[in-house]
C-alpha cells in the first residue's frame, strides 16, 4: 500500500501503474492529496490482475472530495482480470468524487478499455461517476466483461452521471462476449449525453441464462456499422429533452435477440418531436418486426399522470395514451422511432380591466378585473391561482388589495398572488370577477401584468399587461361631491373659503387666500403656478389655476 499524506503533492505521471497484479494486493491511497496539474496520468493503468494460482487479488485507488484531482488520463485502462478493482471513494461506494473527468487515449494514440477480461473467480470491477466531469475516449476496442470464467461477476463502467461523453472506437465495443461460464454475472456500461461511434457493438453474446448485459444511453447518440443485441442483452435508450439513441447508416446491420427499450422521459418542446432511434432509409418493416416480436419496446410511463389508488399505469408501450404517441415513421430519408404529443384542446381565456380614469397618485382607485373564457375547448385546466405585478417609476410603489367572489381579500405591495393553496376551479366556460383596489405612490407610467397559472404544472393559462398613466391629483379634489374634479370644485372651494374666513378650520389655519387654503388642506407647498384644474367637459386636460383666479385670491 502506498499512501500519500493529506496535503502532500504527487506528480502522478506514470508510464505503467499496476496495483494488485500477480500475487499481491495493491492500494494507492490519494485521499486528501494534491496531484500536480490536477491529473492522474498513466500510459497503462492496470488494477486487480491476480495469477491463476491467486485469484482474489485486488487493486484499488482511493480518492475523495479532498483530493485535488480534476481528471484521470490513461491510454490503456485494465481492471478486474482475476481480481477486484475500483477507483474512487470507499466512503461513497467506491465512486469517483464529483466533477472528475475521464480521458482514455487520444486521437493520435488510441487506447483500450478492458474490464473483467478473462476473469477468474468472483470479479468485482467498477468505475462509476457521482456527478459532473466529462469523458473522452479514442479507442481501438472496449471490452466490458469478456470471456468470464468466473463464479460470478459485477463489471460496471458507469459514466452516466457525467456531463458529457465522446467515444470514437475504430473496433468493437463488447458488453460482454462470454465463454466458459454459466455463473451469474452483471455487466453494464452506462453513458451520459454526447456521441459514441464504433465499427461494431456486441451486447450479451452468447446466451447465459444467469447473466445480464446492459448498454444504457442517457441522451447518447450511438453510431455503429453492426449492432448485435444478444439474448441476455438490453440496449436501453433514455430520451430527455433532445433526441438520441441509435443513429444508423443505411447499410448498418441491426440484429436483436434480446431487447431494445426506448424510454421517453420528457415531453418535446411545443411543435417539435423527439426520436429514440434513427436509421437511414426505409426500415419500417425491420423495426415493426422487432416490435411485433417483443424485441423493441417503448416506455412513456414518465410522461403519464400518476395512477390512482396505487394502480398500475398499464402497458407502458401503449400506442397512444393521453395524446402521447410513439410510432415508427419514415420521412422519405430516415426511419425513426418517434414520440409525438398531440396538443390538448384547452379553452382560451382573457383578462379585461374596468379602470376608471383619470387615475391619481396617493388615492385609492377601484378596478374590476375579469378573467373569462374566450373560446371553449374540450379539456379543462387544473386548479389555478393568479399573480399581479406592477412596475412604475423608480422608487414608486403600488398598494394592491384583491377581493374574490368568496369575499377573501389578499393584500400586497407591487407584486403578489392570490387564491387559496388549492386554488380556484377553472371551468372550460368560466368567468371570474375580482374587485381590485390600487394605490399608486407617485405620478408616472406603470405597467401592470396579470397572470393565471395552473398550480400543479406551473403552466401559464393566460398573461396580459396594461399601461396605466397616473397623475398628480388636483389639490382641491371633488370638493362639491358631484363625481368630477373640475372648475366647479374650484369655485366651490373659493366660495366656501370666503364664506368662512375667520371661522372654523380656516380661522385656525390662518387662511385668507385660496392658495393658502389649498396648501393647508393638502399639506403641500402651493403657488398659483403649480395649481392645476379641469374645465367642465374638457376631458382630462389640466389647466393652470392662475388663469382662473387673481394673484391676490
Is residue 506 domain-shared with residue 533, that is, in the same domain?
yes
How confident is the model over 231-245, as a mean pLDDT?
94
Is residue 32 within 8 Å of 63, Cβ to Cβ? no
Instruction: Report the DSSP pairing between strands 365-375 and 431-440.
Output: antiparallel
Confidence of residue 94 (pLDDT cuts 50, 70, 90): very high
Range of lowest pLDDT (45-59, 234-248, 429-443): 45-59
462, part of any domain: yes
Take residue 333 and report the three cell numbers written for it: 430519408
Query: Per DSSP, what are the bridge partners of residue 279?
Result: 248, 335
Q: Alpha helices, DSSP H only, in 196-301? A: 284-292
Confidence of residue 286 (pLDDT cuts 50, 70, 90): very high
Q: Is residue 1 pLDDT above 80, yes or no? A: no
Is residue 457 domain-shared with residue 416, that is, in the same domain?
yes
> Residue 219, class by beta-carbon neighbours within 10 Å (0-12 exposed, 13-18 middle, 19+ buried)?
buried
Nearest residue to 124 via CA among 94, 92, 147, 153: 153
Is residue 513 domain-shared with residue 447, that is, in the same domain?
no
Q: Grid coordinates 482480470 are at which residue? A: 81
How confident is the model over 174-186, as a mean pLDDT?
68
Confidence of residue 110 (pLDDT cuts 50, 70, 90): very high
Confidence of residue 440 (pLDDT cuts 50, 70, 90): very high
pLDDT digits (tens, 9 = 90+) for 406-416: 999 999 999 99
Give the pLDDT of residue 315: 41
Q: Give the H/E segment covering residue 521.
A: helix 514-522
Q: Is residue 232 pLDDT above 60, yes or no? A: yes
Phi then psi for 75, rounded to 5 degrees?
A: -100, -45
pLDDT digits (tens, 9 = 90+) for 376-413: 987 788 899 999 999 999 999 999 999 999 999 999 99
153, part of any domain: no
Tell me if residue 545 falls in helix, strand or coil: helix
pLDDT digits (tens, 9 = 90+) for 503-524: 334 333 444 455 555 555 554 4
Is residue 352 domain-shared with residue 458, that is, in the same domain?
yes
Is residue 534 domain-shared with residue 431, that is, in the same domain?
no
Strands of 129-177 (E only): list them: 134-146, 153-158, 164-177
**DSSP letters of 500-520?**
STTSHHHHHHT--SHHHHHHH
Q: Give the H/E segment covering residue 491.
A: helix 487-499
Q: How far apart are CA 65 and CA 68, in angstroms?
A: 8
Give the pLDDT of residue 153: 78
Task: Between 131 and 553, name the one with better pLDDT.
Answer: 131
How confident is the model over 466-475, as a mean pLDDT?
81
Q: Is residue 528 pLDDT above 60, yes or no? A: no
Is residue 451 domain-shared with residue 517, that is, in the same domain?
no
Is residue 361 domain-shared with residue 456, that is, in the same domain?
yes
Is residue 519 within 8 Å of 471, Cβ to Cβ? no
Nearest residue to 196 via CA among 173, 213, 214, 226: 173
Which range among 173-187, 302-316, 527-541 has the greatest average pLDDT?
173-187
Is residue 462 domain-shared with residue 499, that is, in the same domain?
no
137, part of any domain: no
523, part of any domain: yes
Q: Is residue 535 pLDDT above 50, yes or no? A: no
Q: How far apart are CA 78 and CA 19, in angstroms?
A: 11
**Percent of the chain residues topping a pLDDT of 90:** 57
The parent domain of residue 464 ranges over: 348-471
459, part of any domain: yes
Domain termination residue (choose one: 447, 471, 495): 471
Is residue 369 domain-shared with residue 466, that is, in the same domain?
yes
Take residue 408 and report the three cell numbers written for it: 377573501
Q: Residue 392 is part of a domain; what is its CATH number?
A: 2.60.40.3880
Give the pLDDT of residue 491: 56
Q: How far apart are CA 97 and CA 161, in angstroms?
A: 11
Nearest residue to 21 via CA among 106, 79, 74, 89: 79
Give the pLDDT of residue 380: 82
Q: How far apart are CA 553 and CA 547, in angstroms?
A: 12
> How high is the mean pLDDT of the chain?
83
**Percent of the chain residues topping a pLDDT of 70:** 75
How confident is the model over 184-199, as a mean pLDDT?
93
Tell me how many degrees the CA angle 370-373-374 measures, rounded to the nearest 5.
Answer: 110
Is residue 38 within 8 Å of 31, Cβ to Cβ? no
Is residue 502 domain-shared with residue 412, that is, in the same domain?
no
Take residue 395 and report the three cell numbers written for it: 422608487
Q: How many structural domains is the chain composed of?
A: 2
Q: How far apart are CA 259 and CA 42, in angstroms?
A: 37
Q: Is residue 268 pLDDT above 70, yes or no? A: yes
Kindly report the number of other CB atoms within 10 A of residue 425's CB atom: 12
Domain termination residue (choose one: 471, 498, 524): 471
Domain termination residue (choose one: 471, 498, 519): 471
Is residue 502 domain-shared with residue 455, that is, in the same domain?
no
417, part of any domain: yes
Q: How far apart are CA 184 and CA 122, in angstroms?
A: 10
Query: Per DSSP, what are the bridge partners of residue 196?
Result: 167, 222
Confidence of residue 343 (pLDDT cuts 50, 70, 90): low
Task: Between 503 and 275, name the one with better pLDDT.
Answer: 275
Half-sphere exposure of 515 (CA within 13 A, CB side): 16
389, part of any domain: yes
Is residue 418 domain-shared with residue 465, that is, in the same domain?
yes
270, part of any domain: no
Confidence of residue 231 (pLDDT cuts 50, 70, 90): confident
Measuring CA to CA, how many Å separate 417 from each of 408, 412, 447?
13, 8, 16
Q: How far apart are CA 403 and CA 11, in angstroms?
A: 70
Amino acid at each position: 500500500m502506498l499512501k500519500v499524506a493529506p496535503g502532500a503533492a504527487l506528480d502522478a505521471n506514470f508510464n505503467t501503474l499496476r496495483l494488485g497484479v500477480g500475487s499481491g494486493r495493491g492500494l494507492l491511497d490519494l485521499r486528501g492529496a494534491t496531484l500536480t496539474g490536477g491529473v492522474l496520468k498513466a500510459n497503462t493503468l492496470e488494477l486487480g490482475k491476480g495469477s491463476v494460482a491467486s485469484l482474489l487479488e485486488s487493486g484499488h485507488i482511493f480518492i475523495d472530495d479532498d483530493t485535488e484531482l480534476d481528471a484521470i488520463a490513461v491510454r490503456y485502462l485494465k481492471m478486474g482480470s482475476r481480481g477486484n478493482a475500483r477507483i474512487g471513494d470507499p466512503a461513497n461506494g467506491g465512486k469517483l468524487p464529483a466533477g472528475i473527468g475521464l480521458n482514455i487515449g487520444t486521437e493520435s494514440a488510441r487506447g483500450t478499455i478492458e474490464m473483467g477480461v478473462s476473469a477468474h473467480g468472483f470479479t468485482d470491477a467498477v468505475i462509476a461517476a457521482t456527478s459532473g466531469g466529462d469523458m473522452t475516449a479514442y479507442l481501438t476496442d472496449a471490452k466490458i466483461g469478456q470471456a468470464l470464467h468466473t463464479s460470478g461477476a459485477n463489471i460496471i463502467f458507469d459514466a452516466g452521471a457525467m456531463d458529457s461523453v465522446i467515444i470514437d472506437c475504430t473496433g468493437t465495443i463488447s458488453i460482454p462476449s462470454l465463454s466458459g461460464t454459466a455463473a451469474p454475472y452483471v455487466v453494464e456500461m452506462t453513458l451520459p449525453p454526447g456521441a459514441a461511434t464504433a465499427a461494431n457493438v456486441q451486447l450479451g453474446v452468447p446466451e447465459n441464462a444467469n447473466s445480464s448485459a446492459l448498454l444504457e444511453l442517457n441522451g447518447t447518440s450511438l453510431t455503429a456499422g453492426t449492432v448485435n443485441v444478444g439474448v441476455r442483452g438490453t440496449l436501453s435508450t433514455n430520451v430527455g429533452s433532445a433526441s438520441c439513441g441509435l443513429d444508423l447508416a443505411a447499410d448498418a446491420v441491426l440484429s436483436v435477440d434480446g431487447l431494445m427499450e426506448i424510454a421517453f422521459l420528457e415531453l418535446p418542446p411545443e411543435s417539435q418531436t423527439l426520436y429514440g432511434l434513427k436509421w437511414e432509409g426505409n426500415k419500417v418493416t425491420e423495426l415493426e418486426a422487432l416490435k411485433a416480436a417483443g424485441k423493441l419496446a417503448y416506455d412513456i410511463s414518465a410522461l403519464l399522470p400518476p395512477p390512482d389508488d396505487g394502480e398500475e399505469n398499464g402497458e407502458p408501450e401503449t400506442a397512444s395514451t393521453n395524446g402521447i404517441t410513439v410510432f415508427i415513421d419514415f420521412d422519405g430519408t430516415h426511419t425513426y422511432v418517434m414520440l409525438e404529443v398531440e396538443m390538448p384542446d384547452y379553452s382560451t381565456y382573457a383578462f379585461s380591466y374596468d379602470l376608471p380614469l383619470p387615475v391619481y397618485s396617493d388615492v385609492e382607485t377601484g378596478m374590476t378585473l375579469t378573467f373569462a373564457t374566450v373560446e371553449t375547448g374540450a379539456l379543462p385546466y387544473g386548479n389555478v391561482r393568479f399573480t399581479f405585478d406592477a412596475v412604475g417609476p423608480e422608487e414608486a410603489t403600488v398598494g394592491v388589495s384583491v377581493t374574490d367572489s368568496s369575499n377573501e381579500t389578499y393584500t400586497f405591495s407591487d407584486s403578489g398572488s392570490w387564491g387559496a393553496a388549492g386554488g380556484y376551479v377553472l371551468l372550460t366556460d368560466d368567468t371570474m370577477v375580482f374587485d381590485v383596489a390600487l394605490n399608486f405612490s407617485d405620478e408616472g407610467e406603470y405597467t401592470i401584468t396579470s397572470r393565471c397559472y395552473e398550480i400543479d404544472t406551473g403552466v401559464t393559462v393566460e398573461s396580459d399587461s396594461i399601461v396605466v398613466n397616473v397623475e398628480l391629483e388636483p389639490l382641491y379634489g371633488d370638493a362639491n361631491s358631484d363625481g368630477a374634479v373640475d372648475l366647479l370644485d374650484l369655485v366651490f372651494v373659493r366660495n366656501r373659503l370666503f364664506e368662512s374666513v375667520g371661522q372654523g378650520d380656516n380661522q385656525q389655519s390662518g387662511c385668507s387666500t385660496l392658495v393658502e387654503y389649498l396648501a393647508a388642506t393638502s399639506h403641500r407647498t402651493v403657488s398659483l403656478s403649480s395649481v392645476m384644474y379641469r374645465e367642465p367637459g374638457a376631458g382630462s386636460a389640466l389647466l393652470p389655476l392662475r388663469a382662473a383666479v387673481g394673484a391676490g385670491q
